[in-house]
Every structure is written in C-alpha cells, then in structure tokens.
C-alpha cells in the first residue's frame, strides 16, 4: 500500500510540475490524470482567453 501511495503522490507531483512549468502542453495531462484531466483543461482554457 505504501508503494501505491508513493506512486500516486509522484504522479500528482509530476502533473502539478507539468502544469506549473508549461500550461501550453495540456496533452501531457491525459496519460497522468485520465478522465480527471479533462475538467482541468477546461479550467485552463478561460485563462488563455483572459490576456
């Protein structure tokens, strides 16, 4: 169980690092988050239209 928790934490850290480093690459969120990545991409879209 500890290995599974560590694996999930690493995926979350990698996903957060990808979004923080470059929000221009939302495709990388699909293999990491799967269905959870879709609403996150919808949140990024209005941010791109603001500036």
Query: How is the chain split into domains, by residue range?
Result: 2-49
Give the C-alpha separation, 40 to 4, whole Å.
23
Strands, E, within the chain: which ranges? none
Q: Sign of torsion, CA 32 7 18 38?
A: positive
Q: How confident is the model at residue 7 (pLDDT cuts 50, 70, 90)?
A: confident
pLDDT score, position 6 = 85
The answer to pTM > 0.85 is no
Tokens found for residue 44: 């990024």
Give the C-alpha separation, 49 to 33, whole Å.
24
pLDDT score, position 19 = 66
Note whether 37 and 30 are within 8 A (CB). yes
Least confidently predicted of 9-13, 20-24, 27-31, 37-41 = 37-41
pLDDT score, position 15 = 72
pLDDT score, position 43 = 47
């Amino acid at each position: 169980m500890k290995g599974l928790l560590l694996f999930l934490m690493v995926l979350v850290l990698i996903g957060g690092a990808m979004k923080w480093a470059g929000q221009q690459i939302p495709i990388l969120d699909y293999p990491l988050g799967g269905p959870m990545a879709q609403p996150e991409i919808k949140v990024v879209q209005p941010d791109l239209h603001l500036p």
